Structure 1
Amino acid sequence: MPRPAPFRRLSRRARLGAATVAALVTGTAVFGIGQATAEHSVPRTDKEIPNLTRVQDQITAYYGDTVTADGQHYASPRSNYARQVRGIEAKARSYLTKELAKPAARSGKHTRPAIVLDMDDTTLLTYNYELQVGFHFTPESQDKYLATTDMDPVFGMNRLVNWAHSKGAEVFFLTGRKEAQREWSVRNLKNVGYGVPLDLTHVYLKNKENPPPYLPCGADCTTTEFKSGTRQHIESLGYHIVANFGDQYSDLNGGFGDRTFKMPNPMYYLP
């Protein structure tokens, strides 16, 4: 998921609080913004705040940080992160195997099954970018990276997506990346093996300059409003969303999807 404007970065990312450690170790939900502990919304002493360096070390260990000869950092396919992702994908494949085997005729006008997927840290892994910028997102650094570099696929997600499409699921990508990043995003998806339609009708990005008429909130949509409103639009076109994948709860909230699959991401948090 792309991060918000710089003046909100500290509260929105909330990536180095106690909730991050909990999510990193157990894979459970991240606490709310600024919630250092379950008891105190504001830390009472420094002892309630995890050490920044130690949390960063835990994050890189979780991803199985691998450094190439040119100094680039990548996640390891043998990491605990990759292991956790494989478990989620196995559950998704088992569920989709049953759903996609059902008769095509469904109730009402929703006749064709579909899956919806976020992009950053759901289908494309931002780990290398995050390490390059020291977990310090800026719109400028993201633009520079996406224009010149392909992110790796989240381990196994390209295979899962291609398999679901081969079994009859229409595939839609729904990301908070800005419309100006469309060409780079589509190029990246193609280059790392997502062999599904990637045209304007299958890849939805956030267009603040010309928001679509089906979003009542227009240019001021929250992430949940943008994503749930777009899923509602997809279903209005005659699709039935059987599964929705995202690394943030704001990717998944708001309905219009039978089942959600939360991908792990201890690097940042977006409400």
Structure 2
Amino acid sequence: MTDQNGQTRQAGRTCMRTLGIAAVTAAALTATVTPSVAAPAPAQAPRAAATAVTEAAAADVDYDTWQRDCRAVMDTALPYLKERIADSAPGEKQAIVLDIDNTSLETDFGFSYPQPANRPVLEAAQYAQEHGVALFFVTARPGIIEAPTEWNLAHAGYESSGLRVRGFLDLFKGVAEYKTEQRAEIESRGYTIIANIGNSTTDLSGGHAEKTFKLPDYGGQLS
């Protein structure tokens, strides 16, 4: 379990990342809606600020090392998924639950919108979705950025069967509690969650998944 200080640090990073996503999204939407505006400098300022925040969060983690370590985890996950999907019971509705930040999408290695897919995870997810497995995304991101997050996932190549973001009341719950409740609700709809993939213990604790796969967070450096 993450200790109280660790949860505070994680909450702070989540807040700053959310502000960064919202700022860059707003800038992108403004540029799209009003293409005749001549001076682009104001729209670039939020991007620069967000870049500084997110790059600082990952300052001690090398991108190539992170990708290699993600690949090692998913090289274990993919054979399991292939076997489990092939062994599905007649009529079984299989699902995979995925975290978003530094799991499904690259978040802390430079900032852009749309954020690129984390390739090792995307490859496994695409295999699953091509074989009829539903992909559910459960994130600690707040509902205010639900629409741009949903678009980003589709743009990155994921076919989402459902995106779960935190509503107002969810903000008063621990992340692990909130995510556990979301998986339980997915199960209540008749799905068997064959895998739960995330990079934090709060993504994976609480059960309601046959198997969990933890990507690296390097002691909380990647939220």
TM-score, length basis structure 1: 0.58
The structure 2 residue matched to 1:226, chosen from 175, 178, 185, is 178
Residue 123 of structure 1 deviates from its aligned partner by 0.4
The reply on whether 1:245 has 2:208 as its aligned counterpart is no
In terms of fraction of residues, the more helix-rich structure is: 2
The structure 1 residue matched to 2:127, chosen from 150, 163, 175, is 163
Q: Specify the alignment match of 2:33 in structure 1.
A: none
Q: Specify the alignment match of 1:104 in structure 2.
A: 89
* Alpha-carbon distance between aligned partners in 1 of 2:58 and 2:147, rounded to the nearest angstrom: 32
Counterpart contact for 2:180–2:205, Cα < 8 Å:
yes
* Alpha-carbon distance between aligned partners in 2 of 1:171 and 1:243, rounded to the nearest angstrom: 10
The structure 1 residue matched to 2:155, chosen from 191, 201, 207, is 191
Q: Root-mean-square deviation (CA), in Å?
A: 2.7
The structure 2 residue matched to 1:85, chosen from 70, 82, 103, is 70
| Residues 239-264 of structure 1: per-residue CA shift (max 9 Å, x gap) | 01010001110000001001111011
CA 1:56–1:119: 2 relative to 1, 3 Å: closer
| Residues 149-208 of structure 1: per-residue CA shift (max 9 Å, x gap) | 1111112222211111112211100001001101110121122222x135xxx1110011
1:175-186 aligned at under 5 Å gives the runs 175-186=139-150
| Residues 40-75 of structure 1: per-residue CA shift (max 9 Å, x gap) | xxxxxxxxxxxxxxx97642xx21xxxxxxxxxxxx
Partner AA of 2:221 in structure 1:
Y
Counterpart contact for 1:12–1:269, Cα < 8 Å:
no
The reply on whether 1:122 has 2:85 as its aligned counterpart is no
* Alpha-carbon distance between aligned partners in 2 of 1:224 and 1:152, rounded to the nearest angstrom: 25
Identity %: 28
The structure 2 residue matched to 1:205, chosen from 156, 165, 186, is 165
* Alpha-carbon distance between aligned partners in 2 of 1:116 and 1:14, rounded to the nearest angstrom: 21
Per the alignment, in what secondary structure is the counterpart of residue 197 of structure 2? strand
TM-score, length basis structure 2: 0.70
Q: Specify the alignment match of 2:19 in structure 1.
A: none
Q: Specify the alignment match of 1:268 in structure 2.
A: 221
| Residues 209-229 of structure 1: per-residue CA shift (max 9 Å, x gap) | xx5xxxxxx552111110001
- State which structure, 1 or 2, has the greater radius of gyration over its C-alpha atoms: 1
Q: Specify the alignment match of 1:12 in structure 2.
A: 9
Per the alignment, in what secondary structure is the counterpart of residue 128 of structure 1? coil
* Alpha-carbon distance between aligned partners in 2 of 1:117 and 1:87, rounded to the nearest angstrom: 17
* Alpha-carbon distance between aligned partners in 2 of 1:242 and 1:265, rounded to the nearest angstrom: 22
CA 1:88–1:227: 2 relative to 1, 3 Å: same
Segments of structure 2 that go 5 or more residues without pairing to the other structure are: 13-56
Q: Specify the alignment match of 1:259 in structure 2.
A: 211
Per the alignment, in what secondary structure is the counterpart of residue 183 of structure 1? helix
